[in-house]
Amino acid sequence: MRIPKIIIPILVLLFIVGGYVFQSVFFFPTTEVAFSAQGDSTVEFIVDGIKCRGTAGFFTEMFQDTPGIESITTYAANHRAIFVYNSSEINPDRIKVIFEKEFRLQDGTFEAFFHEVERRVP
């Protein structure tokens, strides 16, 4: 039995379209980091600059000595960072100030690697 030549391109097209349609269902965290604080609040940021495992790892390292952060989960695929934090020790505005910190570049100028695009408080 011969398969018509048109079937394979149609199947490939269906898989590509299906991948784009269902991609949001299958997002897995890029990084998940837990710290010692007990959190009572959650905030989600869309952050320009979280693009891959490397930038997500650098992003979470910025908070390793920050009191009041219980956990950070990042999703590089859609540039999300979800913080669970203790609201009596830190707030979303302070979190933003930390990740928008400017770093000195080799040419002597300063630049922030991460920028808030959107904030969601559930």
Task: Give backbone dihedrals phi and psi of 12, rounded to 5 degrees, phi first.
Answer: -60, -45
SS3 (DSSP) at 121: coil
Distance between CA atoms of 113 and 59, rounded to whole angstroms?
9
Closest of 80, 60, 62 to residue 122, by C-alpha: 80
Q: pLDDT tens for residues 28-67?
A: 888 999 988 788 999 999 999 999 999 999 999 999 999 9
**pTM (two decimals):** 0.77
pLDDT exceeds cutoff 80 at 100:
yes
pLDDT at 26 over 70: no
pLDDT value, residue 15: 87
